[in-house]
Chain A
């Protein structure tokens, strides 16, 4: 995927595509490979579960990246998609007994439908109204579930087994690897989309819908596409969560989850996949071990503070630093000095 086009670059004027970014793909591949063997290196039952949970969080956070960062749709409906996926997984895989290899894709389909519905309902709204409408979606689905006896009502469902390729996903390593597989699939899709026609269409839809339409981009279609893909993966994250939590109850629709993922996405940078992944890992670990840092009663305050500080000082999030002109200039000068010194 190298950029074969090499236009004559003139002096270092203005903000340009980051040259320091050339290292990123290599780092990315190495990190991805290490992530695969990690549970073998760190063989601890509970820690492996924590890793699975982190992967689930990463998937969910990246669906926000897709919707908010790429499509510019300020949706807070993640909980509806995630929760629907959780219940779908329990019904499809846990109760009906369809194996996860097929079942998780059915779960994804359910999520995609919920996502597209959410998209259809909110097509004409933007910003705050869209956020509130998508948020309301979570409440609606939660209410439906609470009042459905066959879904366990307010108590939820327990005592099911999520399987994948015939094995129970209550083995944390397996759960982690399955989650990682879906995470990598999502990463590949997002990276491909960003470099292709669809990514430009999403960009255009986000930056100026009027202009997008004037060059033949059906903005509604691309918004729905983003909702569909985000819904599918958020639902898979929800499905995997049931294998992690061993139960499913209406709390999967809670706003806490949406807000903590929103915090991750904002701090990491809505537009930056690496930023979001790094922050998802760090914050999930931090939250889980907050006790050891003596910070558990401040966790949510810290989240809030991080959001406010990020919006104030790093509107592009941590990921924005990767492409910030100042940081690029600094790395260039360091590199120049380094080369100068060795020659």
Chain B
């Protein structure tokens, strides 16, 4: 009895802990500033370790790359110094680190974390303290509910709108659109928004298929699609493995439709050759174009293998923050108004940042096709 209980404790504890201990990655602190210039410090709260380390390390890499460039250029009369807090992908710690940053450490502005369960309470903290907060998460509520947040990215309804804009420009009469979505919060929400936005351009999806996540075989879904043979399949699924399976089975069964999906990081790797021609929507891609390629290189220099949109957005956000500090000042209120003064601001990832009307930064996302070795930008053209 005692022995079996002890065994149960060990087994469960070890299982659980090893399951959670995945994807941990090392973190180091930001470098110090230059001698004679004033140093401007700002907080970066990121999931550098834990379940969401993949996102947090992108955020930190983007910030570091931008800080390095800004300080090297020396265009401002201050040097930038990020104070990076690893909140270990844990909500309680993310909240705590945000509090520590703006109270004990008296930092006037916060960037991150990424994942919605962490960024929402963190924004709640900065909002109550009147501290401006640079965010990247796609959740609309983040800028709808809080006036102190500045979105450096595209929120998900605008990404969906981008997809619909693309469809509107390319769909020929007689062609159909189908929606495929995972029956998750993300998938169902995406399908609903896309259906509404398609209605606005007078398109009714000829088929909407929901599928449960983590299935071994998606043949029934593909078979249904083949019967209809739509021009576009709009995919809302955040599970990379499922996206990869869908793409592979579509190719095997000879479905000719073009897939347009949200950026489910990792799915392209998993799908291999079947991902060729897959279109995804995202605020930024590492493409062959000059700006994009140089940014990708900078991000890789910070130690991330495959630079993603989070790192790119963090890079631009840091550029924007430096500009806001230069034009506004170093207190929270001054940074706030400095950020609101950014219109038509040129980042490296995007050239059309605008916070003067609302805090949403970008009007639209971009669409790119995976060609087997890299991304080719297809929208806006």
Give the interface of A toward B (CB within 8 A). Answer: 44-47, 49-50, 53, 72, 74, 76, 127-128, 131, 146, 153-156, 158-159, 170, 241, 244-247, 249, 251, 255-256, 259, 262-263, 266, 287-288, 290-291, 296-301, 303-304, 307-308, 311, 315
The answer to whether A131 touches B92, judged by C-beta atoms less than 8 angstroms apart, is no
Chain B interface mostly = helix
Nearest residue (CB) in B for A259 is B16
The answer to whether B92 touches A259, judged by C-beta atoms less than 8 angstroms apart, is no
The answer to whether A311 touches B6, judged by C-beta atoms less than 8 angstroms apart, is yes
Chain A CB within 8 A of B117 CB: yes
Q: In the complex, which of the residues B17, B24, B117 contacts A259, with contact meaning CB atoms closer than 8 Å?
A: B17
The answer to whether A247 touches B27, judged by C-beta atoms less than 8 angstroms apart, is no
Total count of chain B residues near the partner, CB < 8 A:
48
Q: Of residues A44, A74, A245, A287, which shows the largest number of chain B Cβ atoms within 10 Å of its Cβ?
A: A245
Chain A interface mostly = helix
CB-CB under 8 A for A301 and B95, given A127-B4, A158-B120: no
The 14 listed contacts between A and B (C-beta, < 8 Å) are A44-B103, A45-B103, A155-B141, A156-B120, A158-B141, A249-B117, A259-B17, A291-B86, A297-B24, A297-B26, A301-B17, A301-B21, A304-B14, A315-B6
Q: In the complex, which of the residues B6, B8, B104 contacts A44, with contact meaning CB atoms closer than 8 Å?
A: B104
Chain A CB within 8 A of B208 CB: no
The answer to whether B128 touches A256, judged by C-beta atoms less than 8 angstroms apart, is no
The answer to whether A158 touches B104, judged by C-beta atoms less than 8 angstroms apart, is no
CB-CB under 8 A for A74 and B9, given A159-B145, A297-B26: yes
Which residues on A sit within 8 Å (CB–CB) of B95?
244-246
The answer to whether A46 touches B13, judged by C-beta atoms less than 8 angstroms apart, is no
Q: In the complex, which of the residues B13, B27, B91 contacts A251, with contact meaning CB atoms closer than 8 Å?
A: B91
CB-CB under 8 A for A45 and B128, given A263-B13, A287-B88, A296-B88: no
What is the CA–CA distance of A304 and B11 in the complex, to the nearest angstrom? 11
The answer to whether A155 touches B13, judged by C-beta atoms less than 8 angstroms apart, is no
Which residues on A sit within 8 Å (CB–CB) of B91?
245, 251
Q: Mark out the residues of chain B between 47 and 63 whose CB falls within 8 Å of any chain A CB in the assembled complex.
A: 48-50, 53
Which residues on B sit within 8 Å (CB–CB) of A128?
4, 8, 11
Chain A CB within 8 A of B124 CB: yes
Q: In the complex, which of the residues B14, B20, B86, B96 contacts A296, with contact meaning CB atoms closer than 8 Å?
A: B86
What is the CA–CA distance of A247 and B128 in the complex, to the nearest angstrom? 13
Which residues on B sit within 8 Å (CB–CB) of A266?
9, 13
B138 to chain A, nearest CB (A): 12
The answer to whether A287 touches B120, judged by C-beta atoms less than 8 angstroms apart, is no
0/1 interface trace, chain B 206-249, chain A, CB 8 Å (1 if under)? 00000000000000000000000000000000000000000000
Q: In the complex, which of the residues A49, A249, A256, A304 contacts B99, with contact meaning CB atoms closer than 8 Å?
A: A49
Q: In the complex, which of the residues A44, A288, A298, A311 contacts B93, with contact meaning CB atoms closer than 8 Å?
A: A288
Which residues on B sit within 8 Å (CB–CB) of A297?
24-27, 48-49, 53
